[in-house]
């Protein structure tokens, strides 16, 4: 089979549980470190983003009302599926320029981090919820609840662990999200969509787009139906524009720049709390 022509894969974006091409029909070439083109990547447009937000909004009701235990099972299932495809992820990270050792470490760390957040799905309420003392005859308690649709701008470096760190805490509490994958190195994020598709995660909970950061950042931060924005990176201009846009409806913005941090610094339940709201209930009681 010496003269076989290898079949190159067409990578698509992932919206509402479906693999779609960009509505705009635009692409950009992805090259490996030697400069050889390895794939065409969708250049998503604002309409793709709009469709993704609609899908995420529709998925929110179902995902947030699943039992916390079931969300936990599904996140764990995603980790299981990643384990089976670890070698593919390693290859893709090596294409980005990682050494074999570094790529392997990153993949295993990513899987472990997913398992870590899977564990928190049905536990963060207990830790962060409270029963509050009040002076009237009320039973007063507070529980954290998911906010809704979160737009996530994934980091440009250490893309796999970065993506997991960006997504897992957001969806663990029942949020849904629209993710803009790394512009330079989107391959592992796109392969991750196949994990999402095969691990019982309802369509629309995680939507992954590829494209140009400066083209889409405005859309990711102005859409009124987005409840929170998670920005992973350190570009000062982007951060300013996101914060200004978020002021339109006083949306929550969280900035992260810690893809290289050790697990014990990034793995904590406060990340889940970043995209929850506390609901306090006053329940009348007799004497």
Query: What residues make contact with other proteins under the rule CB under 8 A?
Result: 50, 53, 57, 219, 222-225, 248-249
Terminal CA-CA length for the chain = 84
Question: Which run of H or E residues covers position 178?
Answer: strand 176-180
If the CB atoms of residues 10 and 249 are measured against other proteins, the closer one turns out to be 249
Beta carbon of residue 157, minimum distance to other proteins (angstroms, whole number): 30
CA-CA distance, 112 to 114, in Å (whole number)? Answer: 5
Q: Give the residue with the Cβ less far from other proteins, 159 or 221.
A: 221
In the complex, what is the shortest distance from the CB of residue 46 to other proteins, in angstroms, rounded to a whole number?
8
Nearer to other proteins, 60 or 192 (CB): 60
Residue pair 228/254 in contact by the 8 Å Cβ criterion: yes
The nearest distance, CB 249 to other proteins, in angstroms, is 8
Q: How far is the CB of 112 from other proteins (least distance, A)?
A: 36
Tell the smallest beta-carbon distance from residue 23 to other proteins (Å): 13
Query: Which of residues 53 and 111 has its CB atom nearest to other proteins in the complex?
Result: 53
Task: Please identify which residue in the block is written with the tokens 């470490």.
Answer: 105
Please answer whether residues 79 and 118 qualify as being in contact, where contact means their C-beta atoms are separated by less than 8 angstroms.
yes
How many Cβ atoms are within 10 Å of 213's Cβ, its own excluded? Answer: 16
Our CB check for other proteins shows the closer of 81 and 149 to be 149
| Greatest extent of the chain over all pairs of C-alpha atoms, in Å | 86
Smallest CA-to-CA distance from 119 within 272, 12, 4, 223 is with 272
CA distance 209 to 215: 12
CA–CA separation, 205 and 216 (whole Å): 20
């Amino acid at each position: 089979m010496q003269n076989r022509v290898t079949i190159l894969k067409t990578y698509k974006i992932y919206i509402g549980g479906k693999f779609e091409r960009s509505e705009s029909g635009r692409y950009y070439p992805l090259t490996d470190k030697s400069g050889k083109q390895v794939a065409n990547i969708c250049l998503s447009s604002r309409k793709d983003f709009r469709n993704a937000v609609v899908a995420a909004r529709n998925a929110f009701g179902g995902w947030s009302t699943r039992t916390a235990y079931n969300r936990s099972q599904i996140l764990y299932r995603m980790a299981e599926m990643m384990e089976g495809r670890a070698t593919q992820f390693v290859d893709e990270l090596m294409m980005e320029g990682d050494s074999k050792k570094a790529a392997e470490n990153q993949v295993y760390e990513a899987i472990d981090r997913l398992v870590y957040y899977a564990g928190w799905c049905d536990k963060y309420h207990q830790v962060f919820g409270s029963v509050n003392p009040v002076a009237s005859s009320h039973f007063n308690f507070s529980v954290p609840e998911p906010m809704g649709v979160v737009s996530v701008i994934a980091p440009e470096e250490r893309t796999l662990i970065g993506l997991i760190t960006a997504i897992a805490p957001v969806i663990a509490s029942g949020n849904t999200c629209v993710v803009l994958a790394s512009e330079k190195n989107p391959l592992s994020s796109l392969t991750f969509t196949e994990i999402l598709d095969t691990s019982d995660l309802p369509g629309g909970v995680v939507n992954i787009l590829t494209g140009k950061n400066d083209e889409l950042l405005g859309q990711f931060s102005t859409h009124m139906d987005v409840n929170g924005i998670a920005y992973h990176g350190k570009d000062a201009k982007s951060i300013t524009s996101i914060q200004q846009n978020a002021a339109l409806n006083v949306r929550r913005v969280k900035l992260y720049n810690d893809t290289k941090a050790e697990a014990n610094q990034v793995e904590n339940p406060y990340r889940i709390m970043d995209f929850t709201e506390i609901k306090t209930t006053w329940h009348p009681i007799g004497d």
